[in-house]
Amino acid sequence: MVDLKGFLKNKICDCISKWKEDNIYAVSFLVLPNEVNEYRGYTNVTEFFVGYNAEKDCQGAGLLAEERWNYAFWRQNEVPVIQADEKDEGMRLLFDWYAEKGLDKIGYEDYDACYDSEMRYIGKGPVGCYELVSEVATVAEELQKEGFIKAKFGKPLPIIIHNLEYPWYMLEACKKANPNGEAEVFFSAMKELGFME
């Protein structure tokens, strides 16, 4: 059995444990498919990175400001956890995990089926993305429940699971990742900015 969750947890904890900066206010879990990502003959493969944003990065923006919560404004200092590279242990484990779960056509997305009659996105990203997002959310939830994040930063911080935007399934993952209300300000901002109802 492929222990993807154990790999993710160890790698994430190792990465976060090395952060020294003061005033970090959010942890970034960037789960990103991209057409240029290739692995084992598949394209549009999903990668996973960990980073953060600090108060100095949003230059005094208000609690609900777009500059504070929209990834486009962030430092974008991500460290790869799983990267589309033939030598990457995480990507090898991820593809073994996909195989174990019976997933094939990794990276494929049927764009015609991704939107409802009102052109709202209802898809789950390319094959493999949603599944990785779900596993990442489970790990994030454990880190919050076990107190790892609070112990590291001396206070609760939100773990924001996202890609370059905030589709419905990423917001759903954020809810799971922050079981004790750690991301309430983020969700208030998403409502204020029109990313969610």
The tens digit of pLDDT for each residue in 72-115 reads: 999 889 999 999 999 999 999 999 999 999 999 998 887 666 56
The tens digit of pLDDT for each residue in 129-155 reads: 999 999 999 999 999 999 999 999 999
Reported pTM: 0.93
Q: How confident is the model at residue 122 (pLDDT cuts 50, 70, 90)?
A: low
As a three-state string, the secondary structure of the chain is CCCHHHHHHHHHHHHHHCCCCCCEEEEEEEEEECCCCEECCEECCEEEEEEEEEHHHCCCCCCCCHHHHCHHHCCCCCEEEECCCCCCHHHHHHHHHHHHCCCCCCCCCCHHHCECCCCCECCCCCCCHHHHHHHHHHHHHHHHHCCHHHHHHCCCCCEEEECCCCCHHHHHHHHHHCCCCCCHHHHHHHHHCCCCC
The reported pLDDT for the residue numbered 69 is 94
**Is the predicted pLDDT of residue 48 greater than 90, yes or no?**
yes
The reported pLDDT for the residue numbered 60 is 82
**Is the predicted pLDDT of residue 117 greater than 80, yes or no?**
no
